[in-house]
Structure 1
């Protein structure tokens, strides 16, 4: 049963990530990987906030591991970072890496402070 919960959550999270990517790509044409940045930052904040609610095991599997795992993406973050380096977009690369880590940790921390 746990495999099904994680799989269902991950599928829904991946679909949400895809929709956000499509919407952002339609509106924003810049070099900065905005769609991945947004889903990862929303995921950082939302996961931390959700964990404060002390979810039961079913919720943990479906929402935290499944949905937020499917929504956020380290592999795309890594690939986009590599592409920026390959395109010699050093400042954008540094900004993307820095902002992703700093803002991600800051958002997860804010949940615990508020």
Structure 2
């Protein structure tokens, strides 16, 4: 099982790397849109995965593995503190608040969609 979890995490990290570069190539600005998109979309999918009540192994591969590699709390914090270090306080507050509020909202939305699907 541990190897499957590692493969899921590797795949999630590869998708994160690809999407981060794609978004940064096409979207410029000080708002860290790539990390924001990855974390919010990951929250939506994880909420859905929890909502449909996957069995242990598929949950470990997708929820813990893939989505653990796909989302990135450490990059979120690094970017948040980089904005603060650049004295871009307004953007830092906006990024922090939006990340938490929309992330939690999307996790709830995904959960509700999953519950409705199996309901």
| TM-score, scaled relative to structure 2 | 0.91
In structure 2, the residue matched to 1:75 is 74
1:17-96 equivalence runs, <5 A: 17-96=16-95
Report how far residue 113 of structure 1 moved. 3.9
Report how far residue 109 of structure 1 moved. 1.5
Name the CA distance, whole Å, in 2 between partners of 1:28 and 1:81: 18
CA contact (8 A) 2:51 2:112 kept: no
CA contact (8 A) 2:24 2:34 kept: yes
- The answer for unaligned runs of 5 or more in structure 1 is none
- The answer for unaligned runs of 5 or more in structure 2 is 114-119
Report how far residue 50 of structure 1 moved. 1.4
Report how far residue 111 of structure 1 moved. 2.8
Give aligned pairs, total: 113
Q: Which runs of 4+ in 1 moved over 4 A?
A: none
Report how far residue 110 of structure 1 moved. 1.9
Deviations 1:34-71 (A, max 9, x none): 00000000000001101212111210111000000000
